[in-house]
Amino acid sequence: MIQLDARLSLAYDLYDPCELAADIGTDHAHLPAALLQRGRCQHMILTDLSESALKNARDTIIRCRLSDRTDLRAGDGLQPLRDETCGMISVTGMGGRTVHDILLEGRDKLRSASLVLSAHTDLPLIREAVCRIGYHLDREEPCFSACRYYLVLRARPGAREMTPREIRLGGPLFDSVSPWLVPYLTRRREVLEHKLKGLISAESPDAEFIAQVREDIAFYDESIRKGSTGS
């Protein structure tokens, strides 16, 4: 049985049970193998950039005896998907810019699938892309894995406007009941505090940007206080 780290376990938890799903940029295929083994999904399409990139996935699928329930396809982003309709599609383990581009360039391949998304960087770009493709976020959940914090997001079909601050900092994130919420917000606040010091010491300080960062820090402070007290 495949064992998942905290980040992939969270991605697993955000998956709806479905007949067919797709994992984009599947790498070692640990998430789809777990979804199949535990019955969350019945069949899965696994994609990666090239046949050589799919080698790790193929090894995992063969080892787990899941070849009859998987379809491995080489290609960029969502382009390997054809006319099938997936219940869920996951895009994880990449940078935010890459996930952003995959969603925008492949929006016609989604066919109203719900999405599980995660990135190492540039989360505002993912939120922006979700809005632009006519989806909305219903979950943003933090976790701690391999000595760093991550967010895993779930998007559903149907447009819903996000404010600029929600794009920057998160929307459903602040409704999370995860024990990692306050540590995650504390870390993000520290990052903003460091950025603020750099902005203030710049040769030509951007007063408007400095004010925005200060407002975001204050918002984090209030959210951390509420999360710490449970109020």
Q: What are the tens digits of pLDDT across the range 169-193?
A: 999 999 999 999 999 999 999 999 9
Among 149-158, 169-178, 198-207, the least confident range: 198-207
Q: Does residue 230 carry a pLDDT above 80?
A: no
Q: What are phi and psi of 38, to 5 degrees?
A: -95, 5
- Please state, in angstroms and rounded to a whole number, the distance separating the CA atoms of residues 227 and 30: 33
Q: What does the pLDDT average to over 96-105?
A: 98
CATH number for the segment(s) 6-173: 3.40.50.150
- Determine the average pLDDT of the residues in 94-113: 97
**107 backbone dihedrals φ, ψ, rounded to 5°:** -55, -30
Q: Angle at CA 202, nearest 5°, toward 198 and 205?
A: 105
In the numeric block, the tokens 């599980």 are attached to 116
Burial class (CB in 10 A: 0-12, 13-18, 19+), 225: exposed
pLDDT average, residue stretch 130-136: 98
Look over the chain and give the mean of its residue pLDDT values, rounded to a whole number.
96
Confidence of residue 231 (pLDDT cuts 50, 70, 90): low
Select from 163, 135, 139, 164 the least CA-distant residue to 151: 139
Greatest alpha-carbon pair distance for the chain in Å reads: 62
Q: Is residue 228 over pLDDT 90?
A: no
List beta partners, residue 136.
Answer: 156
